[in-house]
């Protein structure tokens, strides 16, 4: 199985190996000096990248380089897995610890933990592995399941919802692969709980975090991406979430949301005004109340949940 990630993608930034740098005239002493001066950046033992290039990379691409460097020095046949596979699927790495690369060994021996690398043991099926320009990377389906074992359910949900929404995997594929390894997969109760929350309709990390917030705090789970029409059936818009039974809809605000849906010749401010008019039309046609949340609200789960409960209780009274 192969992926369509361009070889020009930042994940494939050139890694310069120590042996090659020594062959080019560097010594260990001058390598240390180059790193100190910022000319080179040391990814991990024996692996470097040009300093100015490193500074230009985002956190996902930097982690991809760490994973590639770790795979290149692995002493046994391994696959880039877990969090480390996410950049190669262009999936968000929000909420995960990126300090260590994750590899899964294929020799069935116990995993090891060493500086900058977490090795996992697992049974790897042929369909679990994708070829990404010569790199062995776990498939989106296998990666999604692995994420549920890392005790970071919110971050896992964010990434899995992306993989579902982008079509890189499906709910049926996830359950089928899980059932293949039911006796070997650790903590399948946790895995199934996260998979029940995951939904291909969820379009952003903020939306996935909101679903997790509701589940974690006991707020009734809302319906995502609800289409709203007037009494004539005319489409008025789509809201991020809604509790139809309470007559409440949720919009999660963020600059990314407005920039993503900019029309030609439109500024972000124009998009905000257009969004407000859309909200007014929906409220006028349905009588529903709008609850707007921001990324900051998602970081204060209990406070935000109390606010939601107050709104729902007031409307249910």
The model's pLDDT over 192-240, given as tens digits with 9 standing for 90+, comes to 999 999 999 999 999 999 999 999 999 999 999 999 998 888 998 999 9
Comparing 121 with 144, the larger pLDDT belongs to 144
Distance CA 166, CA 226 (A): 19
Domains of the chain, start order: 10-200 (no CATH), 207-316 (3.40.960)
The alpha carbon torsion through 203, 273, 282, 301 (nearest 10 deg) reads: 50
Comparing 71 with 113, the larger pLDDT belongs to 71
The alpha carbon torsion through 76, 174, 135, 61 (nearest 10 deg) reads: -110
Distance CA 182, CA 105 (A): 19
Tell me the percentage of the chain whose pLDDT exceeds 90: 74
Distance CA 10, CA 234 (A): 44
Residue 98 has pLDDT above 90, yes or no: yes
Confidence of residue 114 (pLDDT cuts 50, 70, 90): confident
Distance CA 81, CA 100 (A): 12
Confidence of residue 189 (pLDDT cuts 50, 70, 90): confident
The mean pLDDT value for 8-28 works out to: 96
Residue 239: C-alpha distances to residues 226, 261, 307 (Å): 5, 14, 19
Q: Which of 52, 57, 54, 82 is nearest to 67 (CA)?
A: 82
Q: What pLDDT is stored for residue 154 in this prediction?
A: 98
Confidence of residue 188 (pLDDT cuts 50, 70, 90): confident
The mean pLDDT value for 90-98 works out to: 97
Q: Which of 164, 290, 167 is nearest to 228 (CA)?
A: 290
Count of positions (residues) in the chain? 317
Task: Quote the distance between the C-alpha of residue 304 and its chain's center.
Answer: 23
Q: What pLDDT is stored for residue 91 in this prediction?
A: 98
pLDDT digits (tens, 9 = 90+) for 29-44: 999 999 999 999 999 9
Tokens of 186: 């650790």
Residue 276 has pLDDT above 90, yes or no: no
Please work out, in degrees rounded to the nearest 5, the angle formed at the alpha carbon of residue 206 by the alpha carbons of 202 and 210. 80
Lowest-pLDDT range, 8-12, 161-165, 183-187? 183-187
Q: What pLDDT is stored for residue 1 in this prediction?
A: 54
The percent helix, strand, coil of the chain (3-state, each to 5) is 45, 20, 35
């Amino acid at each position: 199985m192969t992926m369509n990630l361009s070889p020009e993608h930042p994940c494939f930034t050139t890694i310069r190996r120590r042996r090659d740098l020594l062959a080019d005239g560097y010594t260990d002493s001058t390598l240390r000096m180059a790193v100190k001066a910022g000319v080179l950046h040391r990814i991990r033992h024996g692996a470097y990248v040009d300093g100015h290039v490193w500074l230009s990379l985002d956190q996902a691409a930097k982690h991809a380089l760490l994973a590639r460097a770790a795979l290149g020095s692995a002493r046994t046949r391994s696959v880039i897995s877990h969090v480390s596979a996410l950049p190669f699927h262009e999936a968000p790495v929000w909420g995960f610890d990126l300090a260590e690369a994750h590899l899964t060994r294929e020799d069935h021996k116990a995993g090891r933990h060493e500086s900058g690398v977490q090795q996992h043991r697992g049974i790897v099926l042929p369909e679990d592995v994708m070829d990404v320009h010569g790199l062995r990377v776990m498939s989106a389906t296998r990666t999604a399941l692995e994420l549920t074992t890392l005790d970071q359910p919110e971050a896992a949900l964010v990434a899995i919802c992306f993989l579902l929404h982008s079509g890189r995997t499906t709910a049926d594929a996830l359950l089928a692969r899980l059932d293949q390894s039911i006796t070997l997969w650790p903590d399948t109760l946790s895995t199934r709980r996260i998979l029940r929350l995951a939904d291909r309709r969820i379009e952003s990390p903020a939306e996935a975090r909101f679903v997790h917030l509701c589940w974690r705090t006991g707020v009734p789970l809302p319906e995502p991406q609800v289409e709203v029409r007037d009494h004539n059936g005319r489409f008025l818009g789509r809201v991020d979430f809604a509790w139809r039974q309470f007559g409440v809809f949720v919009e999660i605000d963020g600059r990314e949301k407005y920039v993503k849906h900019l029309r030609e010749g439109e500024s972000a401010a124009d998009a905000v005004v257009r969004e407000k008019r859309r909200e007014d039309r929906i409220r006028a046609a349905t009588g529903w109340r709008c609850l707007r949340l921001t990324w900051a609200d998602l970081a204060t789960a209990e406070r935000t949940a109390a606010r939601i409960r107050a709104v729902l209780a007031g409307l249910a009274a």
